Amino acid sequence: MKLCRVVGTVVAPVHHPAYDGHRLLAVRPIDPDGTEAADRMFVAVDRAQAGVGDRVLVMADGSSTRDVCGGGEFPIRTAVIGVVDEIEVHGRVLYGTDAD
């Protein structure tokens, strides 16, 4: 799994039928403190009703992601599977309601 921030939505009027009914999000990997990997971004299927700006957990294993998205032999590799409310490392809240 990867920790990411949603940076936008993806609109694809022509796509594989496996993506029908699925919302696509542009996500960028981040460190727990929120530092973004500015040179990397990818597309993930939204399974958590995330929005732009949300910190999210992204599953990046093809077979597990396909299971989460309904199974089958679809060309889906990544999916947003959770919205992150808080990140705590070694007892210190880096992100969330109690962050400094």
Query: For the segment 8-53, what is each residue's pLDDT rounded down to a tens digit?
Result: 999 988 988 878 888 999 999 998 878 887 788 999 999 999 999 9
pLDDT 10s digits, 66-99: 666 666 667 778 889 999 999 888 888 888 766 5
Quick check: is 100 in a domain?
no
| 43 occurs within a structural domain | yes
Provide the pairing of β-strand 87-89 with 92-95: antiparallel
- Residue 80 sits in which domain range? 2-95
**86: number of Cβ within 10 Å:** 12
Q: Give the closest residue to 27 by CA, choosing from 14, 94, 75, 48.
A: 48
Q: CA-CA distance, 19 to 12, in Å (whole number)?
A: 9
Supply the CATH number for residue 30's domain.
Answer: 2.40.50.220
Q: Is residue 46 part of a domain?
A: yes
Residue 87 lies in a domain: yes
- In whole angstroms, give the CA distance from residue 57 to residue 27: 10
Question: Which pLDDT belongs to residue 78?
Answer: 86
Does residue 73 lie in a domain region?
A: yes
Number of domains in the chain: 1
